[in-house]
Amino acid sequence: MDANALNIPQPDGAMDVKLWLRLLSCVNLIETELRQRMREQFASTLPRFDMLAQLDRFPDGIKMGELSRLMLVTGGNVTGLADSLEKEGMAARVYDPSDRRSCRVKITASGKKQFDQMATAHQRWLNELMSGLPEAEKAHLYTLLGAFKQQLPTA
Amino acid sequence: MDANALNIPQPDGAMDVKLWLRLLSCVNLIETELRQRMREQFASTLPRFDMLAQLDRFPDGIKMGELSRLMLVTGGNVTGLADSLEKEGMAARVYDPSDRRSCRVKITASGKKQFDQMATAHQRWLNELMSGLPEAEKAHLYTLLGAFKQQLPTA
């Protein structure tokens, strides 16, 4: 007979669920705000911003598979997003002359300009959303989340 | 001329972005694991589990609008999910005899049974995923996230 069957309270087990729900809820509250502001102020979406952010890190371009792996915001179809950014002149596909099957996506000057504006606003929004927490507590939270992340399985 | 124009380092501002990305990344890693296990072991999805969890909290039923507001996992069409749970006999729509326009959704005995199995597994998965963090650090993280959540705008 296990502890569950004996109805013994399991503080640890329940704590993990509570911790998970609180994490999820914090992320949802912030994401809802960011999504709304991105739409209102840039007529854009979070997956789109996320893709520009990843492209911005690789000025020489990045393969689609790698791009997809790096993206933090789910819900965006990576190929569809890249197509749409390319159509608007914010990204370009670059083909390797020695291997036509290999293709990388690259941010354009216009994409970079748009991304810089978005990133500045994005940071300002986060500063505003997090202004109620003292810096020392933020630093502590950051450290604890680092230890937490470290022990998670890497997807 | 503001601090940005003078190119003065702004540690606080950048810290908020780093904290946000770390939060997002922890949630993504856990969500990816939970999503996969929910699919493999219950042929189900997280929005579906989330809806059953909310319905389970209101044995007398809950209005659709309220249900939608309470759900933590986005991406699921609430009406579509409710339709699908109803079709499988896990939820039922209940009409108010005095007001046919007012409808509540209620979990069925079969839905409750399925949810209990899912919830037990869900907690076990979280226990496993978080087993590498000492209990004291979990409790601390939970408290800090509480303060963090408290100061966020409620969406």
Is A136 part of the contact surface with chain B (CB cutoff 8 Å)? no
Mean pLDDT of B127-153: 95
Select from A26, A74, A135 the Cβ nearest to the Cβ of B148: A26
Cβ of B137 within 8 Å of Cβ of A146? The answer is no
Residues of B in contact with A33 (CB under 8 A): 153, 155
CA dist A11 → A3, A43, B36, B137, B138 (Å): 12, 46, 26, 14, 12
Residue A122 in tokens = 């994005």
Cβ of A23 within 8 Å of Cβ of B21? The answer is no
pLDDT of A128: 95
3-state secondary structure B78-141: HHHHHHHHHHCCCEEEEEECCEEEEEEEEECHHHHHHHHHHHHHHHHHHHHHCCCCCHHHHHHH
B101 compared with A50, residue with greater pLDDT: A50
CA dist A111 → A15, A93, A103, A125, B115 (Å): 44, 13, 18, 21, 46
pLDDT band at B124 (very low <50, low <70, confident <90, very high): very high
Percent of chain A clearing pLDDT 70 (strictly above): 89
Q: Is A62 exposed, middle or buried (0-12, 13-18, 19+ CB in 10 A)?
A: buried
Is A122 part of the contact surface with chain B (CB cutoff 8 Å)? yes
pLDDT of A103: 86
Is A150 part of the contact surface with chain B (CB cutoff 8 Å)? yes
pLDDT of A155: 53
Select from B13, B72, B153 the Cβ nearest to the Cβ of A21: B72
- Range in A42-51, A135-144, B2-11 with the lowest mean pLDDT: B2-11
pLDDT band at A68 (very low <50, low <70, confident <90, very high): confident
Single pTM value for the model: 0.85
Looking at every residue in chain A, the average pLDDT score rounds to 89
Residue whose C-alpha is closest to residue A110's, from A56, A36, A35, A40: A56
Is A40 part of the contact surface with chain B (CB cutoff 8 Å)? no
Mean pLDDT of A118-144: 96
Task: Give one DSSP letter per residue of A81-92, joined into a string.
Answer: HHHHHHHTTSEE
In the numeric block, the tokens 């997807």 are attached to A155
Residues of A in contact with B145 (CB under 8 A): 19, 22-23, 26, 141
How many helices and strands, by DSSP H and E, does chain A display? 6, 3
pLDDT of A48: 94
CB-side exposure of B3: number of CA atoms within 13 Å? 6
For A6-56, how does the pLDDT look when each residue is reduced to its tens digit (9 = 90+)?
555 455 588 999 999 999 999 999 999 999 999 999 999 999 999 999 999
Residues of A in contact with B23 (CB under 8 A): 23, 26-27, 30, 145
Is A104 part of the contact surface with chain B (CB cutoff 8 Å)? no
